[in-house]
């Protein structure tokens, strides 16, 4: 794994700071790391008995952001305005950016501009204690699940872009196993909790169906 991290550029974003020891999110992250390390991705996404769903969603959203940020960092020399003039998932799917603040209407951006804008937007939410509280006694906002849905729907677009536009380069770097494991974990998680509408996932439909079939066999 260290060789993979060594490939990642530092150009983009700092990882979200770790949650304080002793908090529920800290304990859940340790649990998630242990179950993920077992190789059982099905077990790694299921909400542990008696645990709070919002805490579980928060832990995984932060981890998906950090990991995807590193994965995208490995292809920034290939994902340029010249090579990727639109943010797409292959020739049939194009993504426009809108955040209601700086981009009040859907706006066409190059892929690197789109990803940088998306990651900055996510990082701003993760660092906002009123949106992603990680201190004991601070409640989650009522809109938290909707916020998570929006974040993971947009993170999916980065995975879709990596698979559709940069998979050959990722294979050449020898890190396709890291991408596949990261995406499998991400997809099983969003599927488990119904976080992304099926129509949004169409660009990777074949891969998604394969993951579900493989997961079904593993649980028999």
Annotated binding site for Zn(2+): 79, 84, 161, 166
Answer whether 8's CB lies under 8 Å from 73's CB.
yes
Taking alpha carbons only, the member of 138, 3, 140, 162 closest to residue 61 is 140
Taking alpha carbons only, the member of 135, 163, 159, 188 closest to residue 65 is 159
DSSP class of residue 44? H
The residue behind tokens 């990727």 is 84
Answer whether 165's CB lies under 8 Å from 157's CB.
no
Answer whether 120's CB lies under 8 Å from 94's CB.
no
Taking alpha carbons only, the member of 85, 59, 88 closest to residue 159 is 88
Q: Which residues are annotated binding-site positions?
A: 79, 84, 161, 166
DSSP class of residue 149? H
The pair of structure tokens assigned to 133 is 């509280």
Rounded Cα distance between 35 and 72, Å, is: 25
Answer whether 189's CB lies under 8 Å from 60's CB.
yes
Collapse the DSSP code of 102 into the 3-class scheme (helix H, G, I; strand E, B; otherwise coil) and give the result: coil
């Amino acid at each position: 794994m260290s060789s993979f991290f060594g490939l990642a550029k530092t150009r983009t974003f700092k990882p979200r700071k770790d949650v304080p020891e002793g908090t529920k999110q800290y304990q859940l992250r340790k649990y998630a790391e242990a179950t993920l390390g077992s190789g059982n991705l099905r077990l790694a996404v299921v909400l542990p008995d008696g645990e709070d769903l919002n805490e579980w969603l928060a832990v995984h959203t932060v981890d998906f952001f950090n990991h995807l940020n590193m994965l995208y960092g490995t292809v920034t020399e290939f994902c340029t305005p010249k090579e990727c003039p639109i943010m797409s998932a292959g020739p049939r799917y194009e993504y426009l950016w809108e955040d209601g603040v700086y981009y009040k209407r859907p706006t066409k951006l190059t892929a690197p501009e789109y990803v940088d804008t998306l990651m900055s937007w996510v990082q701003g939410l993760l660092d906002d204690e009123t949106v992603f509280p990680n201190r004991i006694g601070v409640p989650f906002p009522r809109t938290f699940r909707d916020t998570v849905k929006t974040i993971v729907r947009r993170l999916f677009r980065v995975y879709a872009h990596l698979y559709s536009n940069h998979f050959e380069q990722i294979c050449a770097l020898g890190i396709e196993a890291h991408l596949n494991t990261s995406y499998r974990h991400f997809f099983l998680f969003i599927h488990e909790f119904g976080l992304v509408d099926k129509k949004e996932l169409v660009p990777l439909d074949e891969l998604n169906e394969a993951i579900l079939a493989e997961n079904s066999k593993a649980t028999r």
